[in-house]
C-alpha cells in the first residue's frame, strides 16, 4: 500500500473511531429523556471536584481557559463595569414602576434585555453555559423599597408589594411563558433566545433600618411574609430559574446564613426548584469583620441552602475549603448533590447542552431602533406629573412648540450619563456622553418649531433670566448616578446647583421642573415657586420620551408608585401608615390630554 494510502487509511480509521466515540449513547445528552433522568445520569458521572466546580462562580477577569478547565468552574460573572459590559452599548435604564397596570409592557421590556445579555456575553466567553447573568436592571429585582433613603431604592418597583408582584411579568419576557402543565416551582426557559432570570435580593433588603444598604430589617415574620415575600412567591409560580440572597439581615440574622428562610421556606414551603446564588462575596459578610473566618462562612452559607457561591476572586481558597469541609463530613454529600442537581436542572432547561454557544447574531439588536422605540414608550408612560399650574384652569403643560425663545437650564438637561444613572457601562454610572442616546435638550430641539430659539444655560442667575425675555423655561435637575451603599442618603436633597437653579429660574419666568432621580427627593421648599413639576425618574438613553409628553404629542398618564414625602423626618412613611401625611400620596399623578391622537 502506498504511503499516501496508508495515511488515508489511518485518517479514515481515526475518523471512524472518533465517530464511534461521538455517537456513544449518553442519557444526559439525550434531550428526549426526562429532566430527572438526565440530571441523575450526569451526576453519577461527576467527581466531587466537578460538583464543587459547578457551585463556584468566579469573575470574568480571573476566568482564564486554564482556570476553567483545572477547577471545573461552572459559572462566570461579569461584574459591574467589568468586560464585556464596557464593550456594550447601554440599553435604556428606566424605572418602569409607573406602568404597573400594563403588565404586557413589562413583558415586552424583557425582550431587548435578552438580546443584550446573549450577544454581549457571547463575545467574551467560549460557553454560554458558564454565564448566569444577574442584575439585569429592570427585570430581576423583587425587593419592596420601604424607605427611599436606601441607595438601591430605584432597583425596586414600589413600596407596595402588589405593584412589585405585577412587575414579575417581566420574567416571562426574559424566560418565556411557562407551559400550562408545568409543575410549580420548576424553572423554565423557553429556548435558546431566552435567558435565565434572577429574583433578588431575597428577602427584605428594602426594609432596612433608615434605608441603610446591607443593614438590618426589623419586622415580624408576618410583616416579612406579607410585605417582602409575595413577589418571590409570584416569581416562583412564573418559573424563575434563580434567586439571589440579600446582603441584609432579618432581625439580626444575616440572610446568607438564614437556613429558615432559604431552605425551610424558599425551597421546602414555596417548593422552589431552581438554584439559590449568593451575592458578590456575600458569604464573607456572615462574619464581622468580613472574611474573618472564611471556612465558617462557607460552612454556614452552604448549610443555609445557598447552591452557588459568587466567590468571585478567591476561588482557590473557596474550592479548597469547601472540599475539605465535605471530605471531613462537616457538610454532607447530600447537600452538595442537592445544590448541583439544582444548578444542572437550570442548565438543562436552558438547553445549554444542545446549544452551548452564545448566539452572536443577536449583537445586531443591541441599541436597535425597534428597542429604542420601546424604551421611548416606557419613558412616556413612566413620567408622573405632580403639578401643572396653580389650578386646573391655568395649566402650563403641554408646552407650546411655537415660542419666540425658551430657556433650557439645569445640570441634567444635556447629560446621558445623568439620565441613565447607576449600573450603566460602569458600576456606579458616570456623567457625560457615556453611550449613544438622546438627551432631554436634544429631544426639545427635535420637537419644537424650527423657528423657536433654544438657549441652554445650566445655572443662570435670576437677573439673567429676567433680562432675556424667555417665553418659558424647562429646568432639568436631579441626583448624580449612584448604586448600592454609595446612594444611601439620610437627607435626600438634590445637590447644588440644582436647588439654586430652580430658585433663580422659576422665580423669574414660567417654568417646568423635570426631576431626574431614582426616588422621591426633597422638593417641598421649591414647589410654590415651580409652575409645573414632573418626576421623570431615570429615563435612560431615550430623552425623546420626555419631550413627547412635555409638548403634548402624548398625555401624562403615570402614577406615583411610592409616597412622596414632605421632609425626611417623616421617613419611613408608606401608604397605609397611621400617620400618613405626604406631599404627594402613593398613586398620585395628574393627567393631560394629548394635542393630537397618536
- Asked whether the predicted pLDDT for residue 20 surpasses 80, the reply is no
pLDDT at 64: 93
- Asked whether the predicted pLDDT for residue 523 surpasses 80, the reply is yes
pLDDT at 250: 98
Sign of CA dihedral 346, 352, 357, 358: negative
Which member of 160, 377, 484, 531 is catalytic? 484
pLDDT at 75: 92
Q: To the nearest whole percent, how much of the chain has pLDDT over 70? A: 86
pLDDT at 364: 84
Give the whole-angstrom CA distance, residue 35 versus residue 183. 12
Cα–Cα distances in Å, from 75 out to 80, 132, 196, 378, 474? 16, 7, 13, 33, 48
pLDDT at 194: 87
Q: State phi, psi for 515 to the nearest 5 degrees.
A: -95, 125
Q: What is the mean pLDDT of the chain?
A: 88
Q: pLDDT band for position 366 (50/70/90)?
A: confident
CB 200 within 8 A of CB 243: yes
Give the whole-angstrom CA distance, residue 443 versus residue 544. 5
pLDDT at 84: 55
Cα–Cα distances in Å, from 347 out to 129, 189, 342, 575? 7, 9, 9, 41
| Site of grid cell 424553572 | 187
- Asked whether the predicted pLDDT for residue 504 surpasses 60, the reply is yes
393 is known as an active-site residue? no
Give the whole-angstrom CA distance, residue 593 versus residue 598. 11
Tell me what the mean pLDDT of segment 400-407 comes to.
98
Cα–Cα distances in Å, from 198 out to 5, 150, 286? 57, 21, 22
Q: Cell triple for residue 362?
A: 443577536
Tell me what the mean pLDDT of segment 496-518 comes to.
98
pLDDT at 109: 61
- Asked whether the predicted pLDDT for residue 347 surpasses 90, the reply is yes
Which member of 279, 281, 307, 488 is catalytic? 279
484 is known as an active-site residue? yes
Tell me what the mean pLDDT of segment 485-504 comes to.
98
Start-end of H helices in 216-359? 221-223, 230-237, 259, 294-304, 315-327, 333-349
pLDDT at 393: 83
> In terms of pTM, does the model score above 0.85?
yes
Tell me what the mean pLDDT of segment 96-124 comes to.
47
pLDDT in tens, 269-315: 999 999 999 999 999 999 999 999 999 999 999 999 999 999 999 99
Catalogue the long-range contacts made by 281-284 (C-beta closer than 8 Å, 24 or more residues apart).
281/310, 281/311, 281/312, 282/245, 282/247, 282/256, 282/309, 282/310, 283/256, 283/309
Q: To the nearest whole percent, how much of the chain has pLDDT over 90? A: 78
Question: Which of 8-17, 111-120, 190-199, 419-428 has the least mean pLDDT?
Answer: 8-17
**Other Cβ atoms within 10 Å of 69 Cβ, number:** 10
Give the whole-angstrom CA distance, residue 229 versus residue 270. 10
Tell me what the mean pLDDT of segment 82-109 comes to.
45
Give the whole-angstrom CA distance, residue 77 versus residue 66. 17
- Asked whether the predicted pLDDT for residue 118 surpasses 70, the reply is no
- Asked whether the predicted pLDDT for residue 571 surpasses 70, the reply is yes
Which helix (H) or strand (E) element contains residue 532?
Answer: strand 532-535
- Asked whether the predicted pLDDT for residue 5 surpasses 80, the reply is no
- Asked whether the predicted pLDDT for residue 15 surpasses 60, the reply is no
- Asked whether the predicted pLDDT for residue 132 surpasses 80, the reply is no
Residues paired with 131 in a beta bridge = 76
- Asked whether the predicted pLDDT for residue 107 surpasses 50, the reply is yes
Q: Cell triple for residue 8?
A: 488515508
Tell me what the mean pLDDT of segment 495-524 comes to.
98
Question: Which of 138-142, 159-163, 362-366, 568-572 has the least mean pLDDT?
Answer: 138-142
CB 228 within 8 A of CB 204: yes
Amino acid at each position: 500500500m502506498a504511503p499516501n494510502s496508508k495515511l488515508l487509511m489511518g485518517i479514515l480509521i481515526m475518523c471512524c473511531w472518533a465517530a464511534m466515540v461521538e455517537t456513544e449513547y449518553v442519557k444526559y445528552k439525550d434531550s428526549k429523556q426526562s429532566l430527572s433522568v438526565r440530571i441523575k445520569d450526569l451526576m453519577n458521572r461527576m467527581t466531587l471536584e466537578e460538583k464543587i466546580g459547578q457551585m463556584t462562580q468566579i469573575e470574568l477577569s480571573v476566568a482564564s481557559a486554564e482556570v476553567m478547565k483545572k477547577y471545573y468552574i461552572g459559572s462566570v460573572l461579569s461584574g459591574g463595569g467589568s468586560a464585556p459590559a464596557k464593550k456594550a452599548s447601554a440599553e435604556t435604564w428606566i424605572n418602569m414602576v409607573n406602568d404597573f397596570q400594563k403588565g404586557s409592557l413589562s413583558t415586552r421590556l424583557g425582550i431587548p434585555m435578552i438580546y443584550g445579555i446573549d450577544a454581549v456575553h457571547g463575545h467574551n466567553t467560549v460557553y454560554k453555559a458558564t454565564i448566569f447573568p444577574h442584575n439585569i436592571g429592570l427585570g430581576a429585582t423583587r425587593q419592596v423599597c420601604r424607605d427611599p433613603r436606601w441607595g438601591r431604592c430605584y432597583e425596586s418597583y414600589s413600596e407596595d408589594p402588589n405593584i412589585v408582584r405585577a412587575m414579575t411579568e417581566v420574567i416571562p419576557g426574559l424566560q418565556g411563558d411557562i407551559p400550562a402543565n408545568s409543575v410549580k416551582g420548576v424553572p423554565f426557559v423557553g429556548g435558546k433566545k431566552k435567558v435565565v432570570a434572577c429574583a433578588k435580593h431575597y428577602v427584605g433588603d428594602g426594609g432596612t433600618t433608615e434605608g441603610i444598604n446591607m443593614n438590618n430589617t426589623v419586622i415580624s415574620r408576618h410583616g416579612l411574609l406579607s410585605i417582602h415575600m409575595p413577589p418571590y412567591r409570584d416569581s416562583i409560580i412564573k418559573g424563575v430559574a434563580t434567586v439571589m440572597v440579600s446582603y441584609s439581615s432579618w432581625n439580626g440574622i444575616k440572610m446568607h446564613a438564614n437556613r429558615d428562610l432559604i431552605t425551610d421556606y424558599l425551597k421546602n414551603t414555596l417548593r422552589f426548584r431552581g438554584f439559590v446564588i449568593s451575592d458578590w462575596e456575600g458569604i464573607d459578610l456572615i462574619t464581622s469583620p468580613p472574611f474573618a473566618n472564611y471556612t465558617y462562612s462557607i460552612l454556614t452559607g452552604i448549610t443555609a441552602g445557598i447552591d452557588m457561591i459568587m466567590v468571585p476572586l478567591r476561588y482557590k481558597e473557596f474550592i479548597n475549603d469547601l472540599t475539605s469541609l465535605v471530605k471531613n463530613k462537616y457538610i454532607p454529600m447530600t447537600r452538595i448533590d442537592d445544590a448541583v442537581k439544582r444548578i444542572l436542572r437550570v442548565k438543562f432547561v436552558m438547553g445549554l447542552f444542545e446549544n452551548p454557544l452564545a448566539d452572536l447574531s443577536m449583537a445586531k439588536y443591541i441599541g436597535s431602533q425597534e428597542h429604542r422605540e420601546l424604551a421611548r414608550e416606557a419613558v412616556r408612560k413612566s413620567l408622573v406629573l405632580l403639578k401643572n399650574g396653580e389650578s386646573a384652569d391655568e395649566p402650563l403643560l403641554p408646552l407650546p412648540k411655537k415660542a419666540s425663545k425658551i430657556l433650557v437650564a439645569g445640570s441634567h438637561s444635556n447629560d446621558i450619563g445623568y439620565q441613565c444613572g447607576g449600573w450603566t457601562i460602569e458600576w456606579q454610572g458616570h456623567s457625560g456622553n457615556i453611550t449613544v442616546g438622546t438627551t432631554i435638550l436634544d429631544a426639545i430641539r427635535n420637537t419644537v418649531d424650527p423657528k423657536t430659539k433654544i438657549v441652554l444655560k445650566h445655572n443662570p442667575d435670576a437677573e439673567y433670566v429676567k433680562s432675556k425675555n424667555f417665553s418659558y423655561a424647562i429646568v432639568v435637575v436631579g441626583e448624580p448616578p449612584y448604586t448600592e451603599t454609595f446612594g444611601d442618603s439620610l437627607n435626600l436633597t438634590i445637590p447644588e446647583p440644582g436647588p439654586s437653579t430652580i430658585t433663580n429660574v422659576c422665580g423669574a419666568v414660567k417654568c417646568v421642573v423635570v426631576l431626574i432621580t431614582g426616588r422621591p427627593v426633597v422638593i417641598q421648599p421649591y414647589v410654590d415657586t415651580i409652575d409645573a413639576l414632573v418626576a421623570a425618574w431615570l429615563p435612560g438613553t431615550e430623552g425623546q420620551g420626555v419631550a413627547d409628553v412635555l409638548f403634548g404629542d402624548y398625555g401624562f398618564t403615570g402614577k406615583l408608585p411610592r409616597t412622596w414625602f414632605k421632609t425626611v423626618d417623616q421617613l419611613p412613611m408608606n401608604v397605609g401608615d397611621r400617620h400618613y401625611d405626604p406631599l404627594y400620596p402613593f398613586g398620585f399623578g395628574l393627567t393631560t390630554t394629548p394635542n393630537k391622537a397618536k
